[in-house]
């Protein structure tokens, strides 16, 4: 049966494992919490229980289009049959994974090391009395790079062994699986791309969150765009900095390193996503004004043209 298949790979996971395994593994806790919360919300508060005016927004932020969600190591395979709803719910999932820790990068304790946080702890001193302590650790961003493909995807069950006990393990195989995996390596940064045949299956609502990439014939998911509730009007542009500043602080911390391009691509993605979704709602100029002001305030005026691209003169 044909399905949409997404392959997601945790960005920078290998290097983080080499630095500190427990801190790197927190990414799994983060996305498990996001997925589990979405599942529980769907059971307790189904879409039909909301006022009609909210149902579309609630549906887009759910996970009911995910027929299969199969994690393995630092990768995830997700599959579903409704391409448009699948794309929008995937975008919300990826966005929520980043927002889970993004507040720490908005006003970091150490701008040179924005993922570092100080955790208060209660322990006992040498005399046995309770004492307050502080521990420093890293909250790394949960960011994914990946691909989406449409086509053959066959659910299969495999024999496995877990802690010496036999278990049935769900898996996926097929041409769409192979294609989705192959797309992941075509781009830098936390980007999710797909070919034209998948794009053509999307409805107009989903296409708002899509743009063509620099690679001919390929498109990408503008997942930061799901951050905005467009029905709030132009004042919603004020929430741009909630994504932009964390992305900028992460890039600055990695600038002039091997990871620099990955994080600058993230900054670009936040800007382009914001422009595209507000343009679709007839609020292009107010969004450009907000974005230009944020870029200037962040002292990135020399990057203005690179970030705004074709919108630089508009």
What DSSP line would sit under 199-231, residue for residue? HTT--HHHHTTEEE-SSTTEEEE-GGGGG--GG
| Pairwise CA distance, residues 274 & 242, whole Å | 12
Residue 233 banded pLDDT, cuts 50, 70, 90 = very high
pLDDT at 199 over 90: yes
- End-to-end CA separation in angstroms for the chain: 46
Give me 201's structure tokens: 């299956």
- Residue 307's CB is within 10 A of a number of other CB atoms, namely 21
pLDDT at 142 over 80: yes
Planar angle of CA 304, 218, 176, nearest 5 degrees: 140
| Pairwise CA distance, residues 68 & 91, whole Å | 16
Residue pair 298/245 in contact by the 8 Å Cβ criterion: yes
Mean pLDDT for the chain overall: 95
Give me 66's structure tokens: 């995910």
| Pairwise CA distance, residues 119 & 102, whole Å | 16
Helical packing angle, 83-106 and 52-60, nearest 10°: 80
**50-59, 66-75, 222-231, 286-295: lowest mean pLDDT where?**
50-59
Q: How far is CA 196 from CA 81, 88, 140, 193, 201, in A?
A: 17, 17, 33, 10, 9
**Complete domains list, the chain, with CATH:** 2-110+142-226 (3.30.70.1230), 228-314 (no CATH)
Residue pair 75/9 in contact by the 8 Å Cβ criterion: yes
Residue pair 23/137 in contact by the 8 Å Cβ criterion: yes
| Pairwise CA distance, residues 31 & 101, whole Å | 11
- The whole-model pTM stands at 0.94
pLDDT on residue 12: 94
Burial class from Cβ neighbours inside 10 Å (0-12, 13-18, 19+) for residue 94 reads buried
Planar angle of CA 68, 71, 77, nearest 5 degrees: 50
pLDDT on residue 64: 96
């Amino acid at each position: 049966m044909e399905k949409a298949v997404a392959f997601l790979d945790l960005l920078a996971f290998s290097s983080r494992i080499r630095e500190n395994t427990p801190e790197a593994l927190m990414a799994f806790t983060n996305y498990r919490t996001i997925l589990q919360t979405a599942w529980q919300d769907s059971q307790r508060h189904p879409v039909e229980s909301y006022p009609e005016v909210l149902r579309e927004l609630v549906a887009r932020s759910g996970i009911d289009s995910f027929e299969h969600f199969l994690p393995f190591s630092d990768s995830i395979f997700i599959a579903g049959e409704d391409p448009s709803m699948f794309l929008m719910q995937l975008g919300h999932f990826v966005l929520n994974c980043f927002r889970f820790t993004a507040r720490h990068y908005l006003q970091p304790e150490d701008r040179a090391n924005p993922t570092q946080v100080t955790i208060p702890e209660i322990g006992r001193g040498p005399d046995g009395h309770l004492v307050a302590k502080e521990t420093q650790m890293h909250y790394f961003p949960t960011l994914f790079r990946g691909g989406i493909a449409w086509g053959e995807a066959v659910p299969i069950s495999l024999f496995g062994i877990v802690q010496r006990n036999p278990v049935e393990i769900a898996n996926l195989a097929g041409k769409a699986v192979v294609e989705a995996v192959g797309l992941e390596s075509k781009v830098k940064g936390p980007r999710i791309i797909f070919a034209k045949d998948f794009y053509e299956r999307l409805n107009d609502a989903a296409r708002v969150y899509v743009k063509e990439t620099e690679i001919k014939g390929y498109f990408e998911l503008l997942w930061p765009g799901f951050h905005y509730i467009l029905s709030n009007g132009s004042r919603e542009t004020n929430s741009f900095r909630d994504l932009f500043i964390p992305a900028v602080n992460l890039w600055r911390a990695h600038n002039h390193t091997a990871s620099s391009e990955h994080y600058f691509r993230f900054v670009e993605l936040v800007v382009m996503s914001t422009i595209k979704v507000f343009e679709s709602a007839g609020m292009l100029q107010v969004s450009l004004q907000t974005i230009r002001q944020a870029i200037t305030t962040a002292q990135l005026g020399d990057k203005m043209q690179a970030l705004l691209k074709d919108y630089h003169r508009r």
